[in-house]
Amino acid sequence: KRRASELRKMLVRLGPAFVKAGQVLANRPDIVRADYMEELCKLQDDVPAFPSDQAFQIIEENLGRPLDEIFSEISPAPVASASLGQVYKARLRENGDLVAVKVQRPNVEPNLYRDLFIFRSLAGFTNGWSEKQLGCNAQLIIDEFGEKLLEELDYGQELRNIGDFFRNFEGDPLVKIPKPYPKYSGPKVVTMEWINGIRCTRPEQIQKLGQVDEFIRHGVVSGLRQLLEFGLFHADPHAGNIFALEDGRIAYVDFGNVAEISETNKELLVDAVVHAVNEDYREMAGDFMRLGFLAPGTDVRPIEPALEKIWKDSAVQTLENFNFRTVTGKFNELVYQYPIRIPERYALVIRSLLTQEGICLSLKPDFKFLEVAYPYVAKRLLTDSRLRTRLFEILQKDGKFQWERLENLIQLARNTDGGLSFDLTETSKDIFRVLAFDEKLRNQLILAFTEGDRLAIPEVRSLLELLRESNAINATTLVSEIPTMSREILKEWSTRILTS
């Protein structure tokens, strides 16, 4: 315990970049002992503060007005202090709104450059070893770390990030994003809505709320939505940046470090999930190339058996022993053996998922990521029209339609958010359109129904019974839209005939 405390204090004395490195370690239970993790977690919101007089002067300089003209009240001391800034609780004089005011530390930028120069110089001594043993340039890793760190100093960009997240989750019953206040923000000041909740740095208090399972599910699903729906995700979701609200919602703060995933890369990630579920290791190896982990033209055949071993050793099929620590640990072995380099955007994705898994494990030691994530992925496959082709891929194995797999997907999707908002009406309409226009998928459905020497009537009956129990299809809406769909289909057929 004493050694852990000494390490934390030493990192604080060394500077903000060292504090950031400690924050990263605080969310890695796979490589850091529990007593060290507990101490390093304090770096996430309990770094020694700089004087409030300086902070108030920075606020006035950035907003161009005296403090008492802006706020009717403001906390005399910061309520949280981190490596790059500190936060005050205040009330706006204009409308009485309760806000959090984040103020950047004075002279933090030159200090960061100093720390990064030291990191990069030290990395230069290890470059020969790291390139030979790990297949990566140590200085390049420091450059990427430094680039993201310096981005966090751009408070104008952070304000835009908050606005993007706020719009993405606006009206969401499970996720709270603080409202940004551009009028009361500047180059070194960001003002946002105050969040009343419990930080995840205090897991024992969250456990007392008695809604741990729901909170964890909301956190995992919101993280997957950021990644696979919005393509904009929180790249630094450490315990100090996540709150549990009394009503069970999850709230995020500190949007200085976010990252984007393009539409193409989102689809490639879904492809990778589909191929993993289907145990198609050849395509999984191809996904590595398409995602940028391997250089174009790399012979992926030697990697296929290694991927199969990782996947099966991680007990993915049973869920009981699967976690990201297991998979990433085994994946690191591949990095040593093959010319694999993790692109920066996916390094951030992996770090984000590992961090969130670490938080969940601190709240619930027997937490299993896939038990929470699979229902969301199943719901996405069943309800997102853009993933329809991938849905048919996952329902095929060895040329046969997997009725049981379809039922499992529906059962899993019912578990997402307690079964809320699970509606397959649009999916049903898409199936009608598929039958009308897509010859390949139409033939697959016909073959599925007439497979072998019998009609799949028992399977269809079981599926319909499951849908009826799930209330997943609004029959009234579906029947009422049949004339409209018929007109659309006839119009499309006519157009195709006339243009052919």
Active site amino acids? 236
3-state secondary structure 429-461: HHHHHHHHHCHHHHHHHHHHHCCCCCCCHHHHH
Coil vs helix vs strand at 60: helix
Rounded (10°) angle between helices 425-437 and 482-499: 30
> What span, in angstroms and rounded, lies between the C-alpha atoms of 175 and 198?
14
The gap between the terminal CA atoms of the chain, to the nearest Å, is: 77
Task: Give the dihedral of Cα atoms 242, 42, 361, 215; nearest 10 deg.
Answer: -20
Query: Do 220 and 360 contact (CB within 8 A), yes or no?
Result: yes
> What span, in angstroms and rounded, lies between the C-alpha atoms of 403 and 201?
44
Residue 494: exposed, middle, or buried by beta-carbon count in 10 A (0-12, 13-18, 19+)? exposed
Coil vs helix vs strand at 318: coil
* Alpha helices, DSSP H, located in 321-401: 324-337, 344-363, 369-383, 388-394
In DSSP terms, 232 is beta-bridged to 260
